[in-house]
Amino acid sequence: MFPETRLRRLRQNAEIRKMLDLPLPGPEKFIWPAFVLDGAAKREPIEAMPGQSRLSVDQLLIDLEPVVDSGVSGVLLFGLVEDSKKDFHGSEAYNDQGTIQRAIRKVKEKFPKLVVTADVCVCAYTSHGHCGPLTEAGEVDNDAANEVLAKIALSYAAAGADMVAPSSMMDGQVQAIRSALDAAAFDQTLLMSYSTKFASAMYGPFREAEKSTPSQGDRKGYQASYGDLRTALRESEFDEAEGADILMVKPALFYLDVLSKLRETTDLPIAAYNVSGEYSMLHASAERGWGNLKDMVQESTAAMVRGGADILISYWANQYDVLFKN
């Protein structure tokens, strides 16, 4: 105790602090989420997410070059299609010649070592903007959604994706996808489940980017409720039992307690998804001069690592060298 013990001795200079501190995560821990457009030579900056754009595949390849050079491990692809291609089931999502299928082939061709993950959901492909086809009552039809999700995952695996990532929060989605993949001999395709994904108010900028806001209602009937922690944790438990390779907590920063609880109850790798609203929040604050962007990014990222994340899905990943190198 004081005065014999003085804790400030342990942080008296930068060299000592550096020796004791948990290091910042290296670039290999990061996956960069990217938004992919049909066509060519298209680049649409996303107003709500400075530093992020919707890109046609040719432009994505250009932007991936420095990301790959910086050592970032992977990319998570989200597709956008024109309204004319949207339908009740979101069937464009499993078109073998679709945007994401093309993107996967091109990205793997140019960057064979980059871990390519494709998001498996239909909200950007359905006319109504929900994460699966609807019942007559207007609810998402769980089991019908699973059939669609399995077809999508299969077509991504066939295009060469290393990993598929179902994000629609349907019961049994992991089982449906895993068994479809295995039946088609894609037993090496990784499955990262958005296992504990909350109905969050922090997805706003993403929905602007993806133009995927539901035309009616919300996603509370399928995404987890932040008021019910136990059920939210069971979501991950079930996905593990159904054969997920990697679990996820999303959003990450608002749910660090969930992340650290899950860390104690599973030995699966866990991904933390640092979502769009968390990204834009720091940008907005920095723009107003209320905080230093790099410091806020490093501090919040360290929190996710401490919380138990093995993998960081983060929009900061395409700026790794600027934000994480001191």
In the complex, the residues that contact ligand PBG under the rule CB under 6 A are 119, 121, 123, 131, 167-168, 203, 206-207, 219, 275-276
Q: How far is the CB of 116 from Zn ion (least distance, A)?
A: 19
Output 53 or 168, the one with its CB closest to Zn ion.
168
Residue 238 to residue 233: CA distance in whole angstroms: 9
Known catalytic residue: 108? Answer: no
Q: Which stretch binds Zn ion (CB under 5 A): 49-57, 76-84, 120-128, 156-164?
A: 120-128
Least distance CB 235 / Zn ion (angstroms): 15
Q: What is the smallest separation between the CB atom of 289 and ligand PBG, expressed in angstroms?
A: 25
H-type helices in the chain, by residue range? Answer: 14-20, 57-70, 99-110, 142-159, 173-183, 204-210, 229-241, 256-265, 276-287, 293-307, 320-324
When binding is defined by CB under 5 A, the residue of 49, 64, 107, 123 that contacts Zn ion is 123
Specify the residue, 184 or 199, whose C-beta has the smaller distance to ligand PBG.
199
Dist. CA 24–CA 195, nearest whole Å: 25
Write out the two tokens for 271.
């991904």
Q: Does the footprint of Zn ion cover residue 114 (CB under 5 A)?
A: no
CA atoms within 13 A on the CB side of 38: 13
- CB 290, min distance to ligand PBG, A: 22
- Residue 206 binding: pick among Zn ion, ligand PBG, none (C-beta 5-8 Å cut-off by kind): ligand PBG
Token representation of residue 312: 């960081």
When CB distances are held under 5 to 8 angstroms depending on the partner's kind, the choice from ligand PBG, Zn ion, none that residue 181 binds is none
The token duo for 291 is 């905080």
Nearer to ligand PBG, 29 or 219 (CB): 219
Write down the catalytic residue from 106, 151, 197, 261: 197
Q: Tell me if residue 250 is catalytic.
A: yes
Residues 139-168 that bind Zn ion (CB under 5 A): 168
Give the shortest CB-165-to-ligand PBG separation in angstroms: 9
- CB of 258 within 8 A of CB of 264? no
Stretch of 51-59, 122-130, 183-191, 277-285 contacting Zn ion, by CB under 5 A: 122-130
CA 189, distance to chain mean position in Å, is 17
Compare residues 70 and 212 and give the one whose CB is closer to ligand PBG.
212
Are 326 and 49 spatial neighbours (Cβ–Cβ below 8 Å)? no
Q: How far is the CB of 301 from Zn ion (least distance, A)?
A: 25
Q: Compute how many residues bind Zn ion; rule: CB under 5 A.
A: 4
Buried (b) or exposed (e) across 192-209, using 16+ Cβ within 10 A? bbbbbbbebebbebbbbb
The catalytically annotated residue of 250, 261, 294, 325 is 250
3-class secondary structure, 121: coil
Cβ neighbours of residue 101 under 8 Å, at least 6 residues apart?
Answer: 95, 155, 156, 158, 159
131 contacts Zn ion (rule: CB under 5 A): yes
Q: Based on C-alpha coordinates, what's the Rg of the chain?
A: 20
Active site residues: 197, 250
The residue ranges that bind Zn ion (CB under 5 A) are 121, 123, 131, 168
